[in-house]
């Protein structure tokens, strides 16, 4: 695997290094030793798969609050997406900055998303499927987000939005999230749930 650090320290694009022959190819998508050598998370406790039927669907931008801040390893296994991350680390020189990457079944890239980053994507094709490996399980009480179309974010989504949940449309602006984070005030109550929760939308 090839680890390419992005402009946001700690976030990596991970490219496969396939070994090919007349049958096709073989490649590793995860290696505990290689991830550890780059000081990345090596324990993933939950895996999720999302399907978006329509091109232009926008999901996000999502994150979980401490103590449930989550690492994500994201790849598109069918179709293509425009994947966006936003640095929300309060001690970071790049707080509020974002980067975007195309992930597709064709380029087979993965995106390593550190803790305290918001994440979201827009589908570039119909029937896009995204596979997530998660360093922390989903905790509904810790779920939070930023409005993906907040003009202050300056994110250039590649196409008009065709589908978006009402929950995502109602997310707060970056300014509101910044205010809460630097006040050290939870955006929502955070508590240990009585049993494992379901999946995020």
For residue 16, tell me if it sits in a domain.
no
Q: Is residue 146 part of a domain?
A: yes
Provide, rounded to the nearest whole percent, the portion of the chain with pLDDT above 90: 85
Query: Range of 106's domain?
Result: 43-182
Structural domain contains residue 86: yes
Cα dihedral 43, 181, 65, 148 sign = negative
Residue 161 has pLDDT above 80, yes or no: yes
Q: Is residue 98 in a domain?
A: yes
Higher pLDDT, 187 or 156: 156
183-194 confidence digits (pLDDT tens) = 765 554 444 444
- Residue 166 sits in a domain whose CATH number is 2.60.120.10
Total structural domains in the chain? 1
Counting Cβ atoms within 10 Å, is residue 97 exposed (0-12), middle (13-18) or buried (19+)? Answer: middle
As beta bridge partners, residue 143 has: 64
Which of the residue ranges 25-29, 76-80, 129-133 would you say has the lowest mean pLDDT?
Answer: 25-29
Q: Which residue has the tokens 């009402």?
A: 166
Residue 157 lies in a domain: yes
Region 161-184: mean pLDDT is 91
Mean pLDDT of the chain: 90
Q: Could you give the residue ranges of the DSSP H alpha helices within 38-173?
A: 166-169
Paired residues of 120 in beta bridges: 84
Residue 96 lies in a domain: yes
Residue 17 lies in a domain: no
CA distances from 9 to 12, 23, 180, 191 (A): 8, 38, 23, 29
Q: Which residues are catalytic?
A: 62, 132
In a domain? residue 192: no
Q: What angle do CA 168, 181, 66 make, to 5 degrees?
A: 80
What are the tens digits of pLDDT across the range 48-88? Answer: 999 999 999 999 999 999 889 999 999 999 999 999 999 99
Pick from 99, 83, 79, 75: nearest CA to 10: 99
Q: What is the mean pLDDT of residues 124-151?
A: 95
Q: What is the pTM of this model?
A: 0.88
Q: Is residue 18 pLDDT above 70, yes or no?
A: yes
């Amino acid at each position: 695997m090839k680890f390419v650090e992005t402009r946001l320290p700690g976030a990596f694009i991970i490219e496969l290094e396939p070994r090919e022959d007349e049958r096709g190819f073989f490649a590793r998508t995860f290696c505990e030793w290689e991830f550890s050598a780059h000081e990345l998370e090596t324990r993933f406790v939950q895996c999720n798969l999302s399907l978006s039927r329509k091109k232009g669907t926008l999901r996000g931008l999502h994150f979980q609050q401490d103590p449930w801040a989550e690492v994500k390893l994201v790849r598109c296994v069918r179709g293509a997406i425009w994947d966006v991350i936003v640095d929300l680390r309060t001690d970071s020189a790049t707080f509020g900055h974002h980067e975007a990457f195309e992930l597709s079944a064709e380029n087979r890239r993965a995106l390593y998303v550190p803790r305290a980053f918001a994440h979201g994507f827009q589908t570039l094709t119909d029937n896009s499927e995204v596979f997530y490996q998660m360093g922390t399980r989903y905790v509904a009480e810790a779920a939070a987000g930023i409005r993906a179309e907040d003009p202050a974010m300056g994110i250039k989504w590649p196409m008009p939005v065709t589908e978006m949940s009402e929950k995502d449309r109602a997310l707060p602006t970056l300014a509101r999230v910044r205010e809460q984070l630097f006040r050290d005030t939870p955006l929502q109550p955070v508590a240990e749930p009585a049993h494992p929760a379901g999946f995020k939308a």
